[in-house]
A = this chain, B = another copy of it.
Amino acid sequence: MQNPKIKEIEHLFMEFMPLYHKKLSPIFRENDDDEFRCHKNQKRAIMIIHRTKGIILSELGRYLDMRKGSLTSLIDALVENGLVERREDVHDRRKTLLYLTEAGEEYYRQMMARTSKTYQKLFSKLSEEEIEECLHGLQHVVAALKKI
């Protein structure tokens, strides 16, 4: 009934997540020269809205692992700061589509420039072969998560 390989995957995720938080999450905390003083979850939201333009609030909540009620105020603040805009969905009047404004896209670019620097610095500790393995490993994991 139990697939031992899946059990191993489960264990690896349990090991992976704390490591991710320790090594990579702090990147979103950095607040130097952040004129808008966005906090961690606002930055994560901006990342996702950039990638999936026109996303609705509920789906954004699933990607962030946050409740939609929390996102109303989070997005309100980003709209007030002029980084995000809401548009009505013509085909489904329940929905509100989220987009980055031009200022939001500019903020995204600056944020990415900083995170890229940190990634480069961190992963340069690995050999070229280890980088390769991590890269292909991630590709397989992402492919798996997309299917389940």
A57, chain B: closest CB distance, angstroms: 14
B residues less than 8 Å from A16 (CB atoms): 138, 141-142, 145
Give the copy number.
2
Flag if B142 contacts A15 (CB, 8 Å): yes
Interface flags, A104-118, vs B, CB<8A=1, else 0: 000000000001100
Interface residue total, chain A, C-beta cutoff 8 A: 61
Interface flags, A127-146, vs B, CB<8A=1, else 0: 01011111111111111111
- Is A97 part of the binding interface, using a Cβ–Cβ cutoff of 8 Å? no
- Knowing A22-B63, A48-B18, A65-B21, say if A9 contacts B144 (CB, 8 Å): no
Binding site for B on A (CB under 8 A): 1-3, 5-10, 12-26, 44, 47-48, 51, 62-65, 115-116, 119-120, 122-126, 128, 130-148
Can you list 9 A-B contacts with CB-CB less than 8 angstroms, sorted by A residue number? A2-B116, A2-B120, A3-B124, A10-B119, A15-B51, A16-B145, A123-B148, A134-B144, A136-B137
